[in-house]
Amino acid sequence: MKRTPRETEDSTRLVSRRALITGGLMAGTGAVLAGRMRYLQVEQTDEFRLLAEENRINIRLLPPVRGLIFDRTGLLLAGNEQNYRITIIRENAGDVDAVLARLTELVDLDLNQLERVRDEILNRPPFVPVPIADRLSWQEVSAVAINTPALPGVTPEFGLSRVYPLGADFAHVVGYVGPVSDWYLKNTGDTDPILKIPDFQVGRYNIEARMEQALRGRAGTKRVEVNATGRIMRELGRDSAKPGSDLQLTIDAWLQNYVEARLDGESAGAVVMDVANGDILALASAPTFDPNLFVRGISITNWAALNEDRTRPLANKAVQGLYPPGSTYKMIVALAALEAGVITPEETINCRGFTELGNRRFHCWRRGGHGQMNLTNSISQSCDVYYYELAQRTGIEAISAMARRLGCGVRPEVPLSGVVTGIAPTMQWKRANRGESWVVGDTLNAAIGQGFVLSSPLQLAVMTARLATGRNIIPRLVQSIDGQRELPQGGEDLGLDPDHLHLIRRGMYEVSNASHGTAFSSRTVAKGYTIAGKTGTSQVRNITTAERRTGVIRNADLPWERRDHALFVGYAPYEEPRYAVSVVVEHGGGGSVAAAPIARDVLLRAQYGDVPPAELYPSGQRRSIEEMHQNMPLMPAAPPGGQRGVRQV
Q: Give domain status of residue 124, yes or no.
A: yes
Q: Give domain status of residue 134, yes or no.
A: yes
Write the pLDDT tens digit of every residue in 296-352.
778 889 999 999 999 999 999 999 999 999 999 999 999 999 999 999 999 999 999
7-11, 18-22, 57-61, 285-289: range with highest mean pLDDT: 285-289
CA distance 262 to 594: 12
Question: H helices of 167-321, where?
Answer: 182-188, 206-210, 212-216, 253-262, 300-307, 317-320
Write the pLDDT tens digit of every residue in 606-641.
999 999 999 999 999 999 999 999 999 999 876 554
Q: Give domain status of residue 119, yes or no.
A: yes
Examine the pLDDT at 229 and tell me if it is beyond 60. no
Q: Give domain status of residue 111, yes or no.
A: yes
3-state secondary structure of 61: strand
Q: What is the pLDDT of residue 648?
A: 36
- Which stretch of DSSP H or E encloses residue 362? strand 360-363
Top-confidence residue, 364 or 89: 364
Q: Give domain status of residue 108, yes or no.
A: yes
Dihedral sign, CA of 638, 640, 643, 644?
Answer: negative
Domain that holds residue 106: 83-158
Instruction: Please choose, from the candidates 216, 227, 213, 203, the residue with its C-alpha nearest in 3D space to the C-alpha of residue 61.
Output: 216
Q: What is the pLDDT of residue 646?
A: 40
Q: Give domain status of residue 126, yes or no.
A: yes
Q: What is the pLDDT of residue 645?
A: 37
Q: How many percent of the chain have pLDDT more than 90?
A: 61
CA distance 349 to 369: 11
- What does DSSP assign to residue 592? I
CATH code of the domain covering residue 103: 3.90.1310.10
How deeply is 371 buried, as exposed, middle or buried, from its count of CB atoms within 10 A (0-12, 13-18, 19+)? Answer: middle
Q: Into how many domains does the chain fold?
A: 1
Examine the pLDDT at 417 and tell me if it is beyond 90. yes
**pLDDT confidence of 7, banded at 50, 70, 90?**
low
Q: Give domain status of residue 93, yes or no.
A: yes
Q: Give domain status of residue 276, yes or no.
A: no
DSSP 284-322: EEES---GGGGTT---HHHHHHHHS-TT-TTS-HHHH--
- Distance, first Cα to last Cα, the chain: 113
The number of beta carbons lying within 10 Å of the beta carbon of residue 230 is 10
